[in-house]
Structure 1
């Protein structure tokens, strides 16, 4: 049984980490979040120590280490802009880290964490769960077995509706979240790189607080992408069924079904990490470079290859 700490315990993704820690047979011993809406812990680890001040959490982790009860892993589910600092904290504490995406916001931050990881002798593992999704693995295998002279034509559409609260939260602050393409898109951009190879070109057509669109060209694919938080972007036929989320990937006009199979991907990620097969920091580089370029790009006119959802926005 491994001993875990957790930062960002009140966040949206934290319950998946708690569940993964529990279902892989391990123990959460200490958690931190400045917000105290963490009743979910009672369903998983009611005896875990909990802190609303990072300094006290830091002191507790240090005390455990000095008492020969060191934490083995720090799981990081805190806001995006804190990931670098919390990974550094884990390494200084003699623990390995398991960090949510985006691992960092900028490539130079990635370089710093890699350097500190090397100096510490510890390991940072990253959650890139789409690389473990059976449908995505199957697509990648098919692409690798059927490389063709002309590139694949891909449309990626992801709409995940959010209420008015979103624009009042840290997620709406680009300096903290990286913007919508980073906050909800980074794992899809990593998926595209995983399937279709190195990125060769990036164009942004739309950049708003709640939606973004552009064009990416990889070694083996031309990709039109559209990301949105607006429920009105969900196709009406889908919206009428009560669904507020819409995921679609088409490859050469054929839709790839991957709407299911997400529930246990964190559990699988943790199991692989505990077996020594986690995704390392360098694996994140292309996705982080992609979203950082999108963040600073000036949107272009709707010319060339653009996602049809970007029209009339």
Structure 2
């Protein structure tokens, strides 16, 4: 049984980490969040200590470190995006391996700094890249690897996840803290595309705003038109008023079944990490580079063969 701490216990994604810790037979020893709305702990790890000040949380972890029988082995990070690097470094310096939500960090330079802290401490950082464990993604990756073809796959990625007015009032609506829509809701899709289709060769942004972004990515084996949005007005008529989320990936015009299979991906990620097969800093480098370029790119006019269909009809 491994002993875990969790940073960001009141966040949306934290219960999936708590569940993964429990379902892999491990123990959540302590948790921290500035928000005390963490009643979910009662149903998963009621014995866990809880702190609303980081200093007290860190001091408690440091005291545990003095006794090898009680020391923490892992720190899970679910805090706001802009705090990931600081919280990862803190966990490493406690002598713990760290499991961090996406996006790991916003820039390659910060990633390389974490690599330095890894070397200083001897501990490891693991990123939750859960789509790499989705069966539909694994099946497509195997298909692409089997097929010997000169022509690149034609891929269309559309992800619309409606968010209410609260979103822009929260840290997620502040690009200094979330790093914008493409990074916050898109980074794991960019990782997935790299995982399946190889290295990125071209990265063009056609549109970006507080609520949505669109562009074109060309990989070794695929040409990808992508569209991401948190605006319910962008939902297709077939789901508008019925579902708040629309997720579609087509490969050469064929829809990939991608609606199910998400529930247990965090638990699978934890199982792989605990078995020594987790995804580390270098695995995350490619998607970190991708979103860094997207955030800094000058908007380009979209060529017809590179333009996502939603680009001409979106609510701006």
C-alpha distance in 1 between matches for 2:127 and 2:205: 27
C-alpha distance in 2 between matches for 1:147 and 1:5: 46
C-alpha distance in 2 between matches for 1:267 and 1:114: 25
Please, what TM-score do these two structures have when normalized by structure 2?
0.97
Q: CA deviation at 1:103?
A: 0.8
C-alpha distance in 2 between matches for 1:185 and 1:168: 20
C-alpha distance in 1 between matches for 2:119 and 2:66: 23
C-alpha distance in 1 between matches for 2:231 and 2:257: 22
Give the number of aligned pairs. 312
C-alpha distance in 2 between matches for 1:169 and 1:296: 23
Q: CA deviation at 1:258?
A: 1.1
1:282 is the counterpart of 2:282 = yes
Q: CA deviation at 1:239?
A: 2.2
Aligned to 1:142: 143
Structure 1 runs of 4+ aligned residues shifted over 6 Å read none
Q: What are the Cα deviations for residues 263-288 of structure 1, in whole angstroms up to 9, with x where unaligned?
A: 00000000111111111110011100
Q: What are the Cα deviations for residues 174-194 of structure 1, in whole angstroms up to 9, with x where unaligned?
A: 121110000000000000000
Aligned to 1:38: 38
Aligned to 1:158: 159
Aligned to 1:171: 172
Q: Is the 8 A contact 1:302 1:311 kept in 2?
A: no
Partner SS, residue 193 of structure 2: helix
Aligned to 2:108: 107
Q: CA deviation at 1:303?
A: 2.8
Q: What are the Cα deviations for residues 215-238 of structure 1, in whole angstroms up to 9, with x where unaligned?
A: 000000000000001112111112
**Equivalences for 1:53-202 in 2 at 5 Å?**
53-68=53-68, 69-202=70-203
Q: Is the 8 A contact 1:157 1:227 kept in 2?
A: yes
Partner SS, residue 238 of structure 2: helix
Structure 1 stretches lacking a partner, 5+ long: none
C-alpha distance in 2 between matches for 1:303 and 1:152: 18
The RMSD of aligned alpha carbons is 0.9
Q: Is the 8 A contact 1:156 1:248 kept in 2?
A: yes
C-alpha distance in 2 between matches for 1:70 and 1:272: 22
Aligned to 1:311: 312
Structure 2 stretches lacking a partner, 5+ long: none
C-alpha distance in 2 between matches for 1:188 and 1:148: 24
Q: Is the 8 A contact 1:91 1:122 kept in 2?
A: yes
C-alpha distance in 2 between matches for 1:237 and 1:312: 15
Q: What are the Cα deviations for residues 105-146 of structure 1, in whole angstroms up to 9, with x where unaligned?
A: 111000000111122111111110100000000000000111
